[in-house]
Homo-oligomer: A and B are copies of this chain.
């Protein structure tokens, strides 16, 4: 299968589904990580331009550890809006990556407008990629992908209906997250712990709920056209 995971900011995919993506890789899937915004708000010390450059290279390094393809969409952090241009860009992303499954943010529940907008964009365009009258760089993609929403930040308001055991891929997840060096101290200052510690609490808690050491959790978007497939690893 081909999997497309889209996060609003660099490190979102790592926090919420890197363990699952690693299992996908292990079973032979092809995985692409895409990042909506340039992460240019994630700093207290350097300029927006500098932090954006740093974060792109951190995110690429993280994707490399996973063995995933990587797409940097580069929209301005904190200011992602839906518009015709942006919608066409996401249509083209799906056409380029031709995914069986898209994993992204929950448009209703997560904590940040960039998250909501990213999730909503993927929901909006999941059928449009097949429309021949909509022209973008890549040819149309006729298969409508499954859509899964990953956990919210700190799990607030999220009601999972699928859990994935990531105990065996937890180290990869830790390593990927550690590439985001610029965010480690930023988060440390804000939350009094590293992003890895933050993530370990969440993964332990989701594991507790589902009977394993570490887990990630998801909510399937049940919308037309639904399918009879069960695609998570």
B41 touches A160 (CB 8 A): no
Q: A74 — which chain B residues lie within 8 A by C-beta?
A: none
Interface, chain A (partner B; CB < 8 A): 40-41, 43-44, 47-48, 51, 77-79, 81-84, 87, 111-113, 123-124, 127-128, 131-134, 152-157, 159-165, 191-192, 198, 201-202, 204-205, 208-213, 215, 220, 222-228, 230, 232
Beta-carbon contact of B204 and A228 below 8 Å: no
Given A220-B161, A226-B209, A41 and B202 contact (CB-CB distance below 8 Å)? no
Task: Provide a sorted-by-A list of 24 A–B residue pairs whose CB atoms are within 8 angstroms.
Answer: A43-B133, A44-B132, A79-B84, A79-B87, A111-B223, A113-B124, A154-B224, A155-B209, A156-B222, A157-B159, A157-B222, A159-B222, A160-B226, A163-B227, A201-B204, A201-B208, A205-B205, A209-B224, A209-B226, A210-B225, A210-B228, A211-B225, A211-B227, A230-B230
- Cβ contact within 8 Å between A153 and B41: no
How far in angstroms is the closest Cβ of chain B from A40? 6
- Contact residues in B for A201 (Cβ distance below 8 Å): 201, 204-205, 208
Taking chain A's interface residues, is the majority helix, strand, or loop, or is none over half, making it mixed? loop
B124 touches A48 (CB 8 A): no
Q: What B residues does A211 contact at CB under 8 A?
A: 191, 225-228
Checking B83, B128, B164 against A78 with a beta-carbon cut-off of 8 angstroms, the contacting residue is: B128
Q: Which of B44, B81, B208 contacts A83 (CB 8 A)?
A: B81
Q: State in angstroms the CA–CA spacing of A222 and B158 once bound together.
A: 11
Interface centre among A133, A157, A210, A225 (most CB of B within 10 A): A133
Residues of B within 8 A of A223 (CB): 111, 156-157
